Amino acid sequence: MRFGECILGSVGIDAETIPRITGMFGMTGSGKTNCELILNAQIIDHSPKIVGLIFDFAGQLLEGKEIKPPKGLRDHPLFSSKVRYYSTREGKLRVGLYTLNPSKLQTIFPEIGPPPYRLTKRFYEKLGRAG
């Protein structure tokens, strides 16, 4: 755990206790990216026993942010051997409102339960009307 550049101490999370489907929400500056970096580093450390699918549209998890020099998941010592990375920047992957919909999520995550599926469907319908 840290406050700005000052390291306050270590905080541990058992990677096996991370739920199958996780969302992280918070105000700007609340530490979402830093928390995700730590959680995802744990997933990399425990791969292939634990796997993750990460949508990082801004690239902040991969490249890091705010710290000089920035450190992201690509700086993890096991990144090149344990991570498969696809980016829209390189034209390898196209993900958008009309290419990834709730029914495709059920294909990717067959264990998704009714409550998260309903929430995803409502969110998709609302965004579809707004776009």
Q: 71-117 pLDDT, tens per residue?
A: 888 888 988 888 877 666 666 555 565 666 777 777 777 777 888 88
pTM for the model stands at 0.55
For residue 102, what pLDDT is reported?
A: 79
Residue 88, pLDDT score: 65
The residues, any chain, with a CB within 8 Å of residue 54's CB and separated by 6 or more, are 36, 40, 61
How far, in Å, CA of 7 to CA of 80, rounded?
Answer: 27
DSSP state of 53: -
Measure the CA angle with vertex 61, ends 93 and 129; round to 5°: 55
Q: What's the rounded Cα separation, in Å, for the pair 123 and 80?
A: 34
pLDDT at position 40: 83
Domain regions of the chain by residue span = 2-90, 96-131
Q: Average pLDDT of the chain?
A: 76
pLDDT surpasses 70 at 42: yes
